[in-house]
Amino acid sequence: MEREQMAGHEDPSVPGRVTAPPTADAAQALLASLDVVARSREARVDRRLLARLHFVNGIAFAAYFGAVLSIFPAGPPAGPTTIGLIIPFLIWTQLLEEFRHSRGFQSRMTRAQTFAYAGAIAVFLAVVIACMAITGSGGQPPALLLAAPPLALLAAFWAMGFRELRRAGAPVPAPASSPWTPAARVTTMGIGVLLGALVFAAGSAQETPLVQWSVVYCGFAVLIAWMIAVRASSRMPAVGAVWRPVQWAAFAVACAVYCVVVIAEAYTTAISPGIAAALGGAVVLLFVVVGALRDE
């Protein structure tokens, strides 16, 4: 037994089989090959693009949290309003995941990203609970309490972005664009219909609350079904991987319009159902146009 231990170690794949330890040259060659693999992977990672994703993701998180928290001075937001604001944010996360996968970025989050996301959720929930307690007792949440979480998130994600810029090496050629298929066009237009319906429902919430409830909960169910289908079937188009800048710009405009309508509806009665219908129709038309554009 002592001789076996000195000669080598037991192979876990074959019980009772003892293999000899690698020689110094073999071990050095193995370490060198691992280093080559690491450098090859690093050379293919576009850290400048990854930095831009962190910058944009920080803006998205800050905008979403800011929109939700900005409603509290007018009173705790109703259930459909809160869930409605979640829908564009979930669409964004799905599109971002598809884009990252198409560019070869790893799905597993780094330690810094894990802390950032976990911290964002914890801080957001804590602030929401505090705001609900303050408004429930008849008070007004302080402006600093409402502004701190979005600004902290923006700073955290931008810090990760600048960190990637410092690590960036030589420019990495962009991969060939994925084909702009009919299925991707239809899915793009479907996203526009969902966002347009949300805009109309948010703008007419005071006059027709039942419409808001129906649109928000049906839209949320459709969104979850779409996200499951994308993961379960390879036939579903990954629109985040094929969108061009014009489609991303249309999505940003639609989300901004929706947030403005939600906030305005919480404080004023200026948005009538007719105006809400016009804004929602404009969002749908925008996505029909960008979905029908020819592939370049």
pLDDT of residue 108: 65
2: tokens are 């002592």
Q: Quote the CA–CA distance of 122 and 138 in Å, as a whole number.
A: 25
Q: 10 vs 286, which has greater pLDDT?
A: 286
pLDDT in tens, 250-287: 999 999 999 999 888 888 888 888 999 999 999 999 99
**Taking the complete model, does pTM exceed 0.85, yes or no?**
no
Q: Quote the CA–CA distance of 181 and 35 in Å, as a whole number.
A: 39
Report DSSP letters for the chain, one per residue: -HHHHHH-EE-TTSTT-EEPPPPHHHHHHHHHHHHHHHHHHHHH--HHHHHHHHHHHHHHHHHHHHHHHHTGGG-PPPHHHHHHHHHHHHHHHHHHHHHHHHTT--SSPPHHHHHHHHHHHHHHHHHHHHHHHHHHTT----HHHHHHHHHHHHHHHHHHHHHHHHH--SPPPPPPPPP--HHHHHHHHHHHHHHHHHHHHHHTTTT-HHHHHHHHHHHHHHHHHHHHHHHH-TTS--HHHH--HHHHHHHHHHHHHHHHHHHHHHH-S---HHHHHHHHHHHHHHHHHHHHSPP-
pLDDT in tens, 87-123: 999 999 999 988 888 877 766 666 766 777 777 778 7
Q: Quote the CA–CA distance of 137 and 135 in Å, as a whole number.
A: 5
**Domain boundaries of the chain, sorted by first residue:** 47-100+111-292
Name the pLDDT band for 78 (thresholds 50, 70, 90).
low
Q: Quote the CA–CA distance of 198 and 219 in Å, as a whole number.
A: 8
Q: Around Cβ 231, how many Cβ atoms within 10 Å?
A: 11
**Integer CA distances (angstroms), 263 to 60, 89, 284, in order:** 16, 16, 20
Q: Are 57 and 96 in contact (CB under 8 A)?
A: yes
pLDDT of residue 206: 72
